[in-house]
Every structure is written in C-alpha cells, then in structure tokens.
Amino acid sequence: MAIWYVLIGVVIGMIAGFFLARYLFKKEMKKNPPINEKMIRAMFREMGRKPNEAQIRRIMKNVNDSYK
C-alpha cells in the first residue's frame, strides 16, 4: 500500500512541477523578452531592407502574443 502512496505523490509532484515551471517561464519571458525592437531593426538591415514602424510593431506584437 505504501508503494501506491509514493507513486501517487510522484505523479502529483510531476504535474504540479510542470505547471509551476510553465508559469515561471512565461513570467520570465514577459519580463525579459528574447527579442526587442533594436534586434528587429538590425535583422531587417542585415537583409537589406529598411523597416517601417508598422512592421516592427506587428513583429513585436506577434512575439509578445506567442508568450501568452
């Protein structure tokens, strides 16, 4: 019977750990996004294009929406 309690505890711990890690990861991504507007401008320049503000805002919105 004790083995069942251990197994149930491990399963519950894994589920709780998954959701806690997911929450902390999303929170960290909102606080420190992996890409910012300066990086987007630099990527456009490397491709030989001059981005306008609408393109940059659209890309930033897509990036931010992907972490929600």
The pLDDT tens digits of the residues spanning 10-56 come to 999 999 999 999 999 988 888 887 788 889 999 999 999 888 889 99
Predicted structure pTM score? 0.57
Domains: count for the chain:
2
Same domain, 68 and 38: yes
DSSP state, 47?
Answer: T
- Is residue 59 a contact partner of residue 40, using CB atoms and an 8 Å limit? yes
- Give the model's pLDDT for residue 67: 67
DSSP state, 67?
Answer: T
Same domain, 22 and 10: yes
Q: Which domain holds residue 18?
A: 1-32
Same domain, 53 and 67: yes
Rounded to 5 degrees, φ, ψ at 48 are 80, 25
CA distances from 16 to 3, 4, 21, 22, 43 (A): 20, 18, 9, 10, 39
- Give the model's pLDDT for residue 20: 97
